[in-house]
């Protein structure tokens, strides 16, 4: 039986226990959110933009199950704000 790594969730921020990446959930478009990913000393890596409520719920579930955008090679847009 494989144990899923735990994540640390605090006020809209999830931290990966494998690599230390911080994933911040931010309002993107009315009811949709985007997820901004930072590594190291808050070095911006990219953002995952979602275009449906279903996608947002899938990402939230994946983060709660210990997945990480960096460790699991998620597709991210790399536009710096």
Mean of pLDDT values over 30-48: 85
Mean pLDDT of the residues in the chain: 80
pLDDT score at 80: 45
The CA-atom distances, in angstroms, between 29 and each of 3, 37, 72 are 35, 18, 25
What integer pLDDT is reported at residue 81 of this predicted model? 43
What single-letter DSSP state applies at residue 45? E
Spell out the residues 6+ positions from residue 26 whose beta carbon is closer than 8 angstroms to its own: 12, 33, 34, 35, 36
pLDDT at residue 46 is higher than 60: yes
pLDDT digits (tens, 9 = 90+) for 4-14: 555 565 567 88
- Res 22: pLDDT: 92
Contacts of residue 20, defined as CB under 8 A and 6 or more positions apart, other chains included, come to 39, 40
> What pLDDT score was predicted for residue 38?
92
Domain ranges across the chain:
7-64
């Amino acid at each position: 039986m494989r144990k899923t790594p735990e994540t640390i969730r605090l006020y809209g921020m999830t931290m990966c226990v494998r690599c230390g990446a911080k994933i911040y959930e931010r309002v993107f478009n009315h009811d949709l959110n985007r997820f901004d990913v930072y590594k190291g000393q808050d070095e911006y890596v990219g953002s995952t933009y979602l275009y449906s409520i279903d996608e947002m719920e899938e990402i939230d579930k994946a983060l709660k199950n210990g997945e990480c955008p960096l460790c699991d090679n998620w597709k991210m847009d790399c536009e710096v704000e």
